[in-house]
């Protein structure tokens, strides 16, 4: 049965492989770990889209996986065709893995999002069908924070307008409406990984920092949390958004919030395109209420590079482009060599750990479960992964099957409607593994089956 349609998996080891656990990798005295592979799969096929960084491609290719790489995203119909035979897919922010696409992914066991967000993936559908989803929540935080600092300075000095004018041959040396950022107040909406780093950078440049978040958080430096969004908007000279895409954050900054901002203040959005009501932003920019804005994300974004940022994409695009002192960038907040390299390593290693050992640490849609790696000294062992509906009676059925064997170690955890069981069994051979696989598959209690055996 295909890996994405049944509820079990068995993993076993191979010589010379790297341990999936960073703790064991850091211990030079640790025994060499065995490398496992799905029992019912001869070759792991991987599709990487959207120019995923070379570091990830190297990590995955080094495992002997078949890696297919494309620089762009794919339209849904073409993606449906390409995803049918792959076990792993790696994407960035443009590829949409909808339920329709995932329904065609007969062999898919894991998705790697080489970015912070996972809103481009139907993570609930993936979980219900035993497909793990991993992302990189930290690796590009510094790059985004530095971009925002650059935009604060560029907006305060109207650098975009002056540069555009001089490119047209116009010398326009002015100081009116241009400011130092020292002594100004930066208001951060969302004090997570990016917001907190930005807070430190802004204070180092002499700014006062206030922030608003849905939960109470410890402030870094002399930053202060304010109790309401309205309090932040009324107290900040620069407002910057760093929140996820949720129903609660849709049009979080709209006409009412613009009215609450200081006259002559600035708005920056490097989070998600749905957070800002852009037609309302256009109106307040034209009225002079805001002195400038910087946008790196938009409700609809092109699938590739080209002259696509027009009214055909977003009906207000040309009005937005016509504004003064507005910086428009094509979703490049995390687009630095350092960030993309770090993301490639973080997600690439997570994919290897999952494929080789069934480790779900860092998964965004499955319970986080791990066991210590099998070692080279542990011959004739198998690792069983069983992903199932979190309902009464399933574990009893599974343990009735496993109880006929020597279970060395076993753990299980649940997350909402999905449960994840991992067990290592010793003294097995190929026929025993096949029997385990068939019996667990036959339970039909849910979504995917990943028996793992020694890699040849």
Active site residue 331: yes
Query: Exactly one of 142, 157, 272, 383 is catalytic; which is it?
Result: 272
Rounded to whole angstroms, what are the CA distances from 397 to 42, 137, 402, 440? 28, 37, 9, 9
Is the separation of the CB atoms in 210 and 226 below 8 Å?
Answer: yes
How far apart, in whole angstroms, are the C-alpha atoms of residue 12 and residue 76?
35
Helix axes 159-167, 141-156, angle to 10 degrees: 70
Task: Tell me if 83 sits within 8 A of 46, measured CB to CB.
Answer: no
Let me know: does 225 contact 191? Beta carbons within 8 Å.
Answer: yes
CA distance 319 to 250: 21
- Whether the CB-CB separation of 333 and 354 falls below 8 Å is answered with no
In angstroms and rounded to an integer, the radius of gyration of the C-alpha atoms of the chain is: 25
Catalytic, out of 255, 301, 378, 415:
301
* Residue 365 near residue 133, CB atoms below 8 Å: yes
* Helix/strand/coil for 300: coil
d(CA 109, CA 214): 34
**106 catalytic per annotation:** no
301 flagged as catalytic: yes
97: β partners: 121
Residue tagged active-site, from 92, 162, 331, 453: 331
Which residues, at least 6 apart from 115, have a Cβ–Cβ distance to it below 8 Å?
Answer: 92, 93, 135, 136, 140, 334, 343
Query: Using an 8 Å Cβ cutoff, are 155 and 294 in contact?
Result: yes
Q: Which of 361, 152, 123, 160 is nearest to 245 (CA)?
A: 123
Output the furthest CA–CA distance in the chain (Å, rounded). Answer: 84
Enumerate the active-site residues: 272, 301, 331
């Amino acid at each position: 049965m295909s890996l994405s349609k049944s509820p079990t998996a068995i993993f076993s080891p191979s010589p010379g492989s790297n341990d999936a656990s960073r703790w064991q990798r850091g211990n030079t005295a640790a025994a060499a770990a065995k490398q496992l592979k799905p029992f019912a799969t001869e070759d792991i096929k991987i599709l990487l889209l959207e120019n995923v960084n070379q570091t990830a491609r190297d990590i995955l290719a080094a495992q002997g996986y078949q890696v297919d790489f494309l620089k762009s995203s794919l339209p849904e119909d073409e993606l449906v065709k390409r995803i049918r035979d792959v076990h792993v897919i790696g994407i960035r922010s443009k590829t949409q893995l909808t339920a329709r696409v995932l329904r065609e992914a007969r062999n898919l066991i894991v998705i790697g999002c080489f970015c912070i967000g996972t809103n481009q993936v139907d993570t609930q559908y993936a979980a219900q069908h035993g497909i793990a989803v991993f992302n990189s929540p930290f690796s590009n935080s510094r790059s985004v924070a530095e971009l925002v600092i650059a935009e604060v300075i560029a907006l305060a000095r109207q650098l975009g307008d002056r540069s555009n004018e001089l490119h047209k041959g116009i010398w326009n040396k002015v100081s009116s409406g241009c400011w130092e950022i020292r002594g100004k107040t930066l208001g951060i909406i969302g004090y997570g990984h990016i917001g907190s780093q930005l807070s430190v950078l802004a204070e180092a440049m002499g700014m006062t920092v206030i922030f608003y978040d849905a939960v109470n958080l410890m402030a870094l430096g002399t930053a202060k949390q304010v109790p309401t969004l309205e309090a932040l908007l009324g107290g900040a000279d620069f407002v910057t958004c760093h929140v996820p895409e949720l129903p609660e954050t849709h049009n979080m900054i709209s006409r009412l919030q613009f009215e609450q901002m200081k006259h002559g203040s600035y708005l920056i959005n490097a989070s998600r395109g749905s957070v800002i009501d852009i037609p309302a932003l256009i109106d307040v920019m034209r009225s002079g209420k805001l002195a400038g804005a910087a946008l790196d994300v938009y409700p609809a974004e092109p699938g590739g590079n080209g002259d696509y940022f027009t009214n055909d994409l977003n009906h207000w695009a040309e009005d937005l482009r016509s504004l003064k002192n507005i910086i428009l960038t094509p979703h490049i907040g995390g687009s630095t060599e350092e960030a993309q390299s770090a993301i490639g390593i973080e997600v690439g290693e997570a994919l290897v750990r999952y494929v080789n050992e069934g480790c779900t640490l860092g998964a965004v849609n499955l319970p986080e479960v791990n066991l210590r790696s099998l070692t080279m000294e542990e011959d004739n062992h198998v690792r069983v992964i069983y992903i199932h509906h979190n309902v009464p009676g399933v574990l009893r059925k599974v343990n009735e099957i496993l109880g006929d064997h020597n279970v060395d170690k076993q753990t299980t955890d649940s997350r909402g409607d999905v449960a994840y069981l991992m067990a290592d069994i010793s003294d097995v051979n190929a026929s025993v593994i096949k029997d385990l696989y068939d019996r667990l598959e036959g339970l039909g209690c849910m979504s995917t089956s990943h028996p793992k055996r020694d890699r040849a």
